[in-house]
């Protein structure tokens, strides 16, 4: 059962979190809207969509900072009112004080991770498309990719409607063309491509010239390329940085075995899954360096110092992730190792104050 002091800490923390989060979101979206206003589509509906996608795309930046800033503001508020000192004096330990905030931060991170399993992860891409093309999703043309030993060509692909035109699939075995499947149109349904009015041309192995023949089959519809999602195709072709967690995992699974450099996709996946944990670990680390009382300290200066340290630490990690995205360093070195180091350090501090 949640105790009274825990309810109070959670209430104070979430109140400060939502104030800071909304302020950062409106600041980010407002500055961007003013900066790009002249390039926005004239339609009011599209402008509203642009602002909405802008709010969503800003979450990856504002959420971790808001989680940490909310802890700093909440604790300094309790220090000024001597609430923190009073709670310590009645026997509440440091670990007991930080646990509600740490769990609240973890909850917020998991909510963000859940959103990245949905199309929420593509908010920045949709926003950019509205700015450049005045539409949410644009069609890609002339895509040529390799998938499970087959070479696949799409004349035009629309990831939003999950439809493609002018499809050609070349099946090659032992460096020899085995068959070609062509279709004017295809639709991705039930995790597979359904080609309409398809034609399959089979080329047998030429063992003797007189036995050589070509077989042609016609199909009203045929199922091919299972699990080859349109979004994976587009991102692999264009090198887009926007991927949801399921699409990033599928892209690594499908293209990693073919010797394709997947560092950018891994970086995107690690950024969505592991990078947000910077916030709860930073909350724990910074908390143990907070003073108990403001009697001997300049609280305004200390508050600024903790916020500055948070911004520097977040900025360094974000810079490392950008380096990994451009294959300058490995994504494991840029994201996994620093986040794990923060987690280990936070755990050590927690154990020391038991």
Give the pLDDT band (50/70/90) at residue 238.
low
> In terms of domains, do 68 and 113 share one?
yes
pLDDT above 90 covers what percent of the chain? 27
Residue 129, in any domain of the structure = no
Give the pLDDT band (50/70/90) at residue 62.
very high
How far is Cα 193 from Cα 195, in angstroms, rounded to an integer? Answer: 6
Beta bridge partners of 96: none
pLDDT score recorded for residue 240: 53
How far is Cα 38 from Cα 230, in angstroms, rounded to an integer? Answer: 32
* Helix/strand/coil (H/E/C) assignment for every residue in 43-107: CHHHHHHHHHHHHHHHHHHHHHHHHHHHHHHHHHHHHHCCHHHHHHHCCCCHHHHHHHHHHHHHH
Where in the sequence is the domain holding 318, given as residue range(s)? 4-118+267-352
> In terms of domains, do 80 and 162 share one?
no
Residue 249, in any domain of the structure = no
- 173 vs 138, 149, 150, 348, CA distance in Å? 34, 8, 9, 56
Name the region of 197 (left: φ>0; alpha: ψ -120 to 50; beta: rest): left
pLDDT exceeds 90 at position 63: yes
Going through the chain in order, the beta strands assigned E by DSSP cover: 140-147, 150-158, 163-173, 176-189, 192-202, 215-224
Residue 40 parent element (H or E): none
Residue 332, in any domain of the structure = yes
How far is Cα 110 from Cα 121, in angstroms, rounded to an integer? Answer: 14
pLDDT exceeds 70 at position 170: yes
Residue 287, in any domain of the structure = yes
Residue 246, in any domain of the structure = no
Do 224 and 251 touch, CB atoms closer than 8 A? no
pLDDT exceeds 60 at position 237: no
> In terms of domains, do 143 and 192 share one?
yes
Give the pLDDT band (50/70/90) at residue 286.
very high
pLDDT exceeds 90 at position 261: no
> In terms of domains, do 68 and 96 share one?
yes
Mean pLDDT is highest, among 14-18, 120-124, 166-170, for 14-18
> In terms of domains, do 8 and 110 share one?
yes
pLDDT exceeds 60 at position 127: yes
pTM above 0.75, yes or no: yes
Do 235 and 251 touch, CB atoms closer than 8 A? yes
Q: Please name the residue ranges forming H helices in 81-208.
A: 83-89, 94-115, 123-133
Instruction: Tell me what the mean pLDDT of segment 257-278 comes to.
Output: 82
Rg (alpha carbons) of the chain, rounded to whole number: 27
Beta bridge partners of 143: 154
> In terms of domains, do 100 and 175 share one?
no
Last residue of a domain, one of 194, 220, 238: 238
pLDDT score recorded for residue 138: 67
Residue 250, in any domain of the structure = no
Last residue of a domain, one of 196, 223, 238: 238
- 282 vs 221, 272, 303, CA distance in Å? 55, 17, 15
Total number of domains constituting the chain: 2
> In terms of domains, do 283 and 233 share one?
no
> In terms of domains, do 286 and 233 share one?
no
> In terms of domains, do 102 and 196 share one?
no
> In terms of domains, do 147 and 80 share one?
no
How far is Cα 330 from Cα 342, in angstroms, rounded to an integer? Answer: 18
Instruction: Tell me what the mean pLDDT of segment 102-124 comes to.
Output: 90
pLDDT, tens digit, 9 for 90 and up, residues 134-159: 777 666 777 777 777 778 888 888 77
pLDDT score recorded for residue 249: 82
Label the pairing between strands 163-173 and 176-189.
antiparallel
> In terms of domains, do 9 and 114 share one?
yes
> In terms of domains, do 228 and 150 share one?
yes
Q: In this structure, how many other beta carbons lie within 10 angstroms of the beta carbon of residue 341?
A: 11
How far is Cα 15 from Cα 287, in angstroms, rounded to an integer? Answer: 18
Instruction: Tell me what the mean pLDDT of segment 33-42 comes to.
Output: 83
Contacts for 64 with CB less than 8 Å, ≥ 6 apart? 275, 276, 278, 279, 282, 314
pLDDT exceeds 90 at position 256: no
- CA atoms in the 13 A half-sphere facing the CB of 50: 24
pLDDT above 70 covers what percent of the chain? 89
pLDDT, tens digit, 9 for 90 and up, residues 315-342: 999 999 888 888 788 888 989 999 999 9
Residue 96, in any domain of the structure = yes
Do 286 and 309 touch, CB atoms closer than 8 A? yes
Output helix, strand, coil percentages for the chain, rounded to the nearest 5. 60, 20, 20
């Amino acid at each position: 059962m949640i105790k009274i002091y825990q309810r109070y800490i959670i209430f104070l923390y979430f109140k400060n979190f939502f104030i800071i989060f909304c302020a950062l979101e409106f600041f980010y979206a407002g500055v961007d809207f003013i900066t790009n206003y002249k390039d926005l589509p004239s339609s009011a509906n599209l402008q509203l969509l642009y602002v909405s996608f802008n709010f969503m795309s800003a979450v990856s930046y504002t959420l971790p900072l808001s989680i940490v800033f909310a802890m700093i503001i909440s604790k300094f508020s309790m220090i000024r009112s001597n609430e923190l000192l009073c709670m310590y004096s009645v026997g509440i330990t440091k670990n007991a004080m930080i646990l509600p905030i740490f769990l609240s931060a973890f909850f917020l991170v998991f909510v963000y991770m859940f959103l990245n399993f949905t199309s929420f992860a593509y908010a920045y891409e949709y926003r950019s498309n509205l700015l450049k093309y005045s539409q949410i999703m644009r069609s890609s043309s002339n895509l040529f990719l390799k998938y499970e030993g087959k070479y696949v060509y799409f004349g035009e692909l629309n990831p939003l409607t999950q439809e493609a035109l002018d499809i050609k699939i070349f099946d090659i075995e032992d460096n020899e063309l085995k068959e070609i499947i062509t279709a004017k149109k295809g639709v991705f349904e039930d995790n597979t491509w359904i080609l309409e009015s398809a034609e399959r041309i089979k080329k047998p192995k030429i063992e003797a010239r007189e036995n050589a023949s070509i077989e042609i089959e016609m199909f009203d519809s045929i199922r091919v390329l299972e699990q080859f999602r349109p979004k994976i195709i587009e991102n692999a072709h264009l090198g887009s940085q926007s991927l949801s967690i399921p699409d990033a995992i599928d892209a690594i699974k499908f293209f990693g075995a073919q010797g394709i450099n997947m560092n950018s996709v891994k970086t995107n996946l690690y950024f969505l899954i592991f990078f947000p944990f910077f916030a709860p670990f930073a909350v724990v680390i910074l908390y143990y360096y907070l003073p108990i009382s403001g009697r001997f300290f300049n609280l305004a200066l200390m508050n600024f110092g903790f916020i500055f340290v948070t911004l520097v630490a977040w900025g360094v990690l974000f810079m490392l992730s950008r380096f990994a995205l451009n294959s300058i360093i490995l994504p494991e070195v840029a994201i996994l190792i620093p986040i794990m180091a923060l987690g280990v350090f936070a755990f050590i501090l927690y154990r020391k104050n038991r």
